[in-house]
Amino acid sequence: MKGKAVSIRVSGQVQGVGFRPFVWQLAREMGLRGQVWNDAQGVGIVAVGEGVEAFAEALTTRAPALARVDAVTVAPYSGAVPEGFEIAPSRGRGAETRVTPDAATCTACAAEIAAQGRRRGYAFTNCTHCGPRFSILNGLPYDRAQTTMAAFPMCPACRAEYEAPGDRRFHAQPVACPECGPRLWYEAGGAEVPGDAVSLAVACLRAGGVVAVKGIGGFHLACDASDPVVLALLRDRKHRPFKPFAVMVAEGDLAALAEVSAADMVLLRDPAAPVVVMRSRHRLPKAVAPGMDSLGVMLPYTPLHHLLLGAFGGPLVMTSGNLSGEPQVIGNAEARDKLAGFADGFLMHNREIARRLDDSVERSTPPMILRRARGRVPGTLPLPPGFEAAPQVLALGGQMKGAICLVKNGQALLGHHLGDLDDALCADEFTKALVDYRALFDHHPAVVAVDAHPGYRATQAGMAMGLPVAEVWHHHAHLAACLADNGWPLDGGKVAGIILDGTGLGPDGTLWGGEVLLGDYRGFTWQAGLRPAPLIGGDRAARAPWRNALVRLDQAGMTDWADALFADAPRDVLRQAAAKGINAPMSSSAGRLFDAVAACLGICPEAQSYEGEAAMRLEALAARCPAGQGGGYEFGQAGQMLDPTPIWAAMRDDLARGIQRGVIAQRFQTGLGLAFAGAARRLVEAGDARAVVVSGGCFQNVGLLGAVLWGLGDTPVLTHQSVPANDGGLALGQAMIAAARVMGGAERA
């Protein structure tokens, strides 16, 4: 065969997605000879024949659905070439390529487990287009021997599929069947129960029991989502009185439970199979999502889930198998030990889980990642223009919603959700993740980036690593994370950042949380912000909304209203602490302002049972009211300070006039959003900023985000796309800032 001979390098997410059989089939179609193989850099190809240019182009345009091609590099080749086209064994070890996230069951595999055949009813059916990936991976290149499937030698039938290039299971590393693969069983009372495992689990669920179900990334606790008695039982056992539960539902039952948009369906059917937050029809008991106007829904994403849901015939609560606040359980022995007090039965299997991966949580409209985990990790983001010379960087995030970020080879890998590092077990998971990611991806950082708060566990871990350290201010990291999420160039110019969240240490020693910053990756200046108020009791103020209401009302000269609202609270003691500055740091936190408003409206004033409860309930109240009822409450302005003082009298007057609490909540959110939008817009209009960036955990609130966007009008604005606006995205911003410093020679040792 005559024709040009070339070597081709394909980089990106190209292993574990059926890329080699795709190349093999494409080469045969185009009459080429050569070979394809996996290695540490991705996929290597040698091809000879007429039309190699079209072949190289098709590697991107016709790539498999799960593939993400970053680059295709073509060079002349003068070596020996096979007579046909063959798939060669993997070469070398190492980690210069991307790893595919776990993918939801494809339609072909879902149909297979329901049809006659050797995989009928088999809970571990998968192919190159679906199934576990990152959750079973022990090392790279991605081959069966480097996964937790290594313990299951393939039977002849599976081996034949695995070795046939034209089969959809060609080199699908988790391929298995009942003859050779993992097995499923049901346990109760500490012993395996004879019989069909799924049928036994369904019988327990129908009897009002709770079943611990081992999935891809960990255990769920499942129960009948329509039974208020078992919902109350699960909440009591899990010590989770009000935090919403996610629900798993068959696609045909979706419309009865939630207002499902076309965008919702696209997201639900995505291979990542996240929990999608959408507007509830309130057909399920209130105990599923107390005080919420929304419902977190996911479709079955493993064959086991398809079998269980199909046999049960209704929606199931699927909540993390853990004590509230602790890491999700992943091992069988661990489950028996930790979940025995929660579950009446266990649906178990013997395929090990290599790492804990919670379900990702997202919204479709506006696009929003609330928790980045299973199905999204370890997907990477390309570094923005100007970062081509960025060194390897390790960034460790903050104290809440822990996640780490690795920068290498022009990509940023933001790790999975690790929980709040206040919890000792979550802190242990953080330490394990550091070791795991660095080993798996062969990462050797030149610098470690940390939050500037010295009390954060992640910061302390970074300081102890013996590497040069880049300390990054919390809210600068939020700004940079949103810039990187949108591919903003290193020299793209300054932006006005609206950063609204709980708290983060500011350069002035106070706790920020409601700021307008002017800056870029290299630095920032403070331009405007909420008038500060004391956080009496420090972290206790975040758990008791009435404390924040007390100080804000006192600040506004409305102590009489505070006394009436919180008559039974220890007001005098707290006022003395505030006056003397005893454990009462000043803070501009927008999150605590939300708490204060919620407390004045009677929303969990004494205590929050989970982080953000008051703000989420306030948002739910506002969402039930038609938009634009009376506009927003006016904030005062003294110089660069945005002062909430005027809103309290307006709120009290509205309450006295019988205005609905939802309208009041909406007017607060609108007023807050418009106040900050105005301050940021003026920086763009003055030519100081090229666009507005919106970041921070408060922007998980759709109503607040909408108010800011409305207030900005046609001003260019960047919002988060693939990275959480909350602290789960913090490490990406830290990494970008550290990389900019190193390239500019400004790293700190």
Provide the annotated active-site residues: 20, 38
42: CB partners within 8 A, 6+ apart: 9, 10, 11, 12, 14, 15, 96, 97, 98
The tokens for 41 are: 């850099």
> Within 10 A of 107 (CB to CB), how many other CB atoms are there?
10
Three-state DSSP state, 464: coil
Q: Which residues, other chains included, contact 462 with Cβ-Cβ below 8 Å and sequence gap of 6+?
A: 394, 396, 448, 449, 450, 469
Residue 705 gets which letter from DSSP?
H
Backbone φ and ψ for 618, nearest 5 degrees, come out as: -65, -45
Q: What are phi and psi of 412, to 5 degrees?
A: -115, 125
Specify the amino acid at residue 442.
Answer: D
Find, among 143, 163, 151, the residue nearest to 16 by Cα: 143
Contact 77, 46 (CB under 8 A): yes
Instruction: Report the distance separating Cα 104 and Cα 64, nearest Å.
Output: 15
Integer Cα distance of 390 and 480 in angstroms: 15
Q: Is 94 left (phi over 0), alpha (psi -120 to 50) or beta?
A: left
Contacts of 55 (CB under 8 A, 6+ apart): 26, 27, 30, 32, 47
- Around 536, how many Cα atoms within 13 Å sit in the side-chain half-sphere? 22
In Å, what is the CA distance from 651 to each residue of 529, 557, 665, 677?
21, 14, 9, 21
Strands 717-718 and 692-695: parallel
Measured between alpha carbons, how far is 575 from 152 in angstroms, rounded to an integer? 65
Q: Distance between CA 209 and CA 346 in Å, rounded?
A: 11
CA distance 298 to 251: 9
Question: φ, ψ for residue 469 (rounded to 5)?
Answer: -115, 135
Q: Contact 361/378 with Cβ under 8 angstroms?
A: no
**Dihedral sign for Cα atoms in the order 541, 547, 553, 554:** negative
DSSP string, 7-28: EEEEEEE-SSSSHHHHHHHHHH
Return the structure tokens found at 651: 């709120």
Please choose, from the candidates 65, 66, 97, 79, the residue with its C-alpha nearest in 3D space to the C-alpha of residue 35: 79
Pairing verdict, β 275-279 and 361-363: parallel
Beta partners for 39? 42, 91
Is residue 529 within 8 A of residue 515, CB to CB? The reply is: yes
Residue 736's H or E segment, with its range, is helix 730-743
Would you state the structure tokens that stand for residue 516, as one six-digit string?
């307008």
Q: What angle do CA 543, 546, 551 make, to 5 degrees?
A: 110
Q: Could you tell me the maximum CA-CA distance found in the chain, to the nearest angstrom?
A: 92
- Compute CA 648 distance to the chain's CA centroid, rounded to the nearest angstrom: 35
Residue 680 tokens read as 């940021």
Do 365 and 278 form a contact (C-beta atoms < 8 A)?
A: no
